[in-house]
Amino acid sequence: MIDEFYSPADIHFTREQMIWLITWLTLLEEGKWPKNPKETGYTETPRVQTSRSHRAPFQTPAEYFSEVTARLKSTRDAGEVLVHEVQHGLDAYELLSPVAKRALNYCSGWRRRQSSFSQWCYDQARKSENNRI
């Protein structure tokens, strides 16, 4: 998972991207975006003038840090378990504990969930119960 790379424009908060963002949470908090691990081998500096951004370089990483931590905070202890597991090397969904999986499923998705984490868990339990019948 650490070999993966996502630019800010690629982020849609999928499970895999959330795991990746949590892996790099400390760097994002510092206002830095992770470097692409794939070397291009290109060494010359281009002479073409690039467009200037009206944003500070730390702004985008800080915004993603804020979004991820807000989503995790809404899951309380389950989010802490998720962060602990991911930052200690469990970087695939299948490797996570059930509590961490639940937090990841809640946190993932293009938009934040409107329902509380406890309400969402209750709804998920009812859905799986109805599917067993």
Query: For residue 113, what are the domain limits?
Result: 8-36+55-132
Task: Write down the pTM of the prediction.
Answer: 0.84
Counts for the chain of helices (H) and strands (E), in that order? 6, 0
Q: How many domains is the chain partitioned into structurally?
A: 1
Q: How far is CA 57 from CA 37, 52, 53, 54, 65, in A?
A: 19, 11, 9, 9, 14
Is residue 86 in some structural domain?
A: yes
The per-residue pLDDT for range 34-62, each reduced to its tens digit, is: 988 876 655 555 554 555 667 788 899 99
Is residue 22 in some structural domain?
A: yes
- Residue 66: predicted pLDDT: 97
